[in-house]
Structure 1
Amino acid sequence: MAKHFIRPLALCIFHHQGKILVNQFHDADENRTLFRPIGGGIEFGERSHDAIVREVQEELGRSISDIRLIGTLESIFTYAGKPGHEIVQVYDARFDDAEVYEQPWLDGHESDGAPFRAAWHSSASFTPASPLVPEGLYDLLKRAMLL
């Protein structure tokens, strides 16, 4: 039997003109599209603030600044048929290179080398059939007036 664990995660919201930068992916088991901001796991001994700087550098090759914590979420979910449980530190930050905001998307790479494309999406993109994850993020961003 697989051992389950709670995964500490740091995600970063980059916002521009009413849109946020998200990675789009597909859950084949549920046949639905999901959207998630840039970020990833917090390593043992690493602060979540440092994890978000590292993750953005690793995934997008970009440096960031003006990093601030906007909230913490707990997400219990099923993805690809497997249960998941995450404690998520959600940050807001700014890319140091302003030209990033003029690009329709950014190409990046996951830690396993898999390519992805992060694109700017408005709140209209997020529906019950194609939600913004983790659970509670949409409401958190609305309250923080970032979406």
Structure 2
Amino acid sequence: MADKTIRNISICVFRKNDSILVFEDYDDVKEDYFYRPIGGGIEYGERSLDTLKREIYEEIRAEIGNIKLLDVIESVFTHNGRIGHEVVFVYDADFIDQSFYERTSFFGWKDDGSKIKLYWKRISEFENGNLRLVPEGLQKLL
């Protein structure tokens, strides 16, 4: 059963040539991997842009610039057998530290302290159906 709240989040599409930065996650019920840009939950009284900067720093210790709001997506989904509902502020930005673009993959941290692995994945891998990108509708923005 869902907790019946709508979660507001900010995520960022970082681009490197024909690739975007995503982390890999797994749905145990669907037995399916999926990929999502990094970001996280908006706290009460916090603006989505401030959330984005905070979350990127907390997750990978990076500062960002050239930030632009691309769109807002409403996402209703099922993860691990539970219904989720999010309003997703989707941003585009650049890393201040250019070394992030030189790495093929690296680790970051979720809010709960667990480790996540981030990858630069080609956009074409999502377009041809080899990989699943979430939230639904994000691929249209790319």
Same fold (TM over 0.5): yes
- CA positional deviation for 1:106: 2.2
Give how far 1:105 is off.
1.2
Q: 5 Å matches for 1:41-80? A: 41-80=41-80
Letter in 2 for 1:86: E
In 2, the alpha carbon distance for the partners of 1:124 and 1:100 equals 21
Q: Partner of 1:15 in structure 2?
A: 15
**Where does residue 145 of structure 1 map in the other structure?**
none
Kindly report the root-mean-square deviation, in angstroms, between the aligned alpha carbons of the 2 structures: 1.3
**1:98 to 2:98 alignment:** yes
* Per-residue deviation, 1:3: 3.2
The count of residues paired between Structure 1 and Structure 2 equals 141
Who is 2:28 aligned against? 28
**Aligned position for 2:132:** 131
Q: Secondary structure at the match of 1:54?
A: helix
Percent identity reads 43
Query: Which portions of structure 1, spanning 4 or more consecutive aligned residues, are displaced by more than 6 angstroms?
Result: none
Equivalence for 1:140: 141
Decide whether the 8 Å contact of 2:2 with 2:83 is kept in 1: no
CA contact (8 A) 1:32 1:130 kept: no
Shift of 1:100: 1.0
Secondary structure at 1:14 match in 2: strand
Structure 2 CA distance for partners of 1:2 and 1:71, relative to 1, 3 Å: closer
Q: Which runs of 5+ in 2 are unaligned?
A: none
Report the Cα offset of residue 2 of structure 1.
5.4
Q: Is the 8 A contact 1:36 1:133 kept in 2?
A: yes
CA contact (8 A) 2:2 2:84 kept: no
